[in-house]
Each structure stands twice: as structure tokens, then as C-alpha cells.
Amino acid sequence: MTSLDATVKRVRDTIYRLHADGPSQQTLVQRLGDVIERQTAEAGLRVETEYRGAVADLETSDLADDVLAVIREALSNVVRHAQATVVAIRISVTADSVTVDVTDDGIGVGTPDRASGLANMTRRAYAHGGNLQLNGPPRGGTHLHWTAHRR
């Protein structure tokens, strides 16, 4: 992605996050932005975000809290363990499903000492008939792929 493309993307993401129904309510995208900012602010990570589909449709569903928790835990793992410089977050919403992809350029998954965060993300996926997958992309790092079915 060129620097101009990245700038345009950040502007679009910012506009998307600023769109709110009321002055005292935060949209899910705004809440996600807050979580991403809190989790990565001191890590020096370059964060790329992408929202696909009608993310706003999740605002009143129980999936919203699960998506927030998965993002929070995934970024916590990246910051604490990955030694990454870039993390890409993509949240896709279709009529049938929600997908969260978090990919970093760090040192890979390795052998986790504790798996409580991964277990929590897996439970959240299973609660919605979904799944959690972790793998190492060919160019290194870690790719977390979390899915849930909408009811």
C-alpha cells in the first residue's frame, strides 16, 4: 500500500468512526477505535484498520461485545509477545457472519506459555457457531482469524 493510499484509508476510517447516532453514544466503530488506540498507543505499532460491510448492524447485538473483546485480546497478545512493527485489523460483516482478522509482522505464534486469552476468544467464537484459527503467514508474523455466525 502506498503512503497516499494509507493516508486516504486513515481518513476514511476516521470519518467512519466519527459517524454517530447521537452526541452521547459511541458507535461500535468508535468503541473499536478506542480499544485499538488504548491497546497500541505505547507500543509504537503502525495500525491499519479496515471495516467491511454493515458493522453498525452489530451495535445492538451480543456480538458487539465479543468482537470488542477479541480485538482487545488479540492486540494485547501482539503488543506483549509479537515484537511486531505493524498490525492490520479487518472486521467484515455480512448478513450471515462476522469475521475478525488480525495480522502482524512479528515473530510468530511460537508456543504460548498460557492460552487463557486464546481459550476465551475460542469460547466466544464457539458461542456463535464460529471458530478461531491462528497461523503464520508465509512472510512471517501471525494471522488470527475469528469467525462468528449472526443469528
Q: Going edge to edge, which strands form the sheet with 142-149? A: 46-53, 86-93, 97-104, 142-149, 131-135
User: pTM, whole model, 2 decimals?
Assistant: 0.81
The one-letter amino acid code at 61 reads S
The one-letter amino acid code at 6 reads A
**What percent of the chain has a predicted confidence (pLDDT) above 70?**
80
Cβ atoms of 103 and 141 closer than 8 Å: yes
* pLDDT tens per residue, range 71-82: 999 999 999 989
Judged against a pLDDT cut of 80, whether residue 10 lies above it is answered with no
Position 58 scores a pLDDT of 92
* pLDDT tens per residue, range 88-133: 999 999 999 999 999 999 998 766 666 688 999 999 999 999 999 9
Position 73 scores a pLDDT of 96
Cβ atoms of 26 and 34 closer than 8 Å: yes
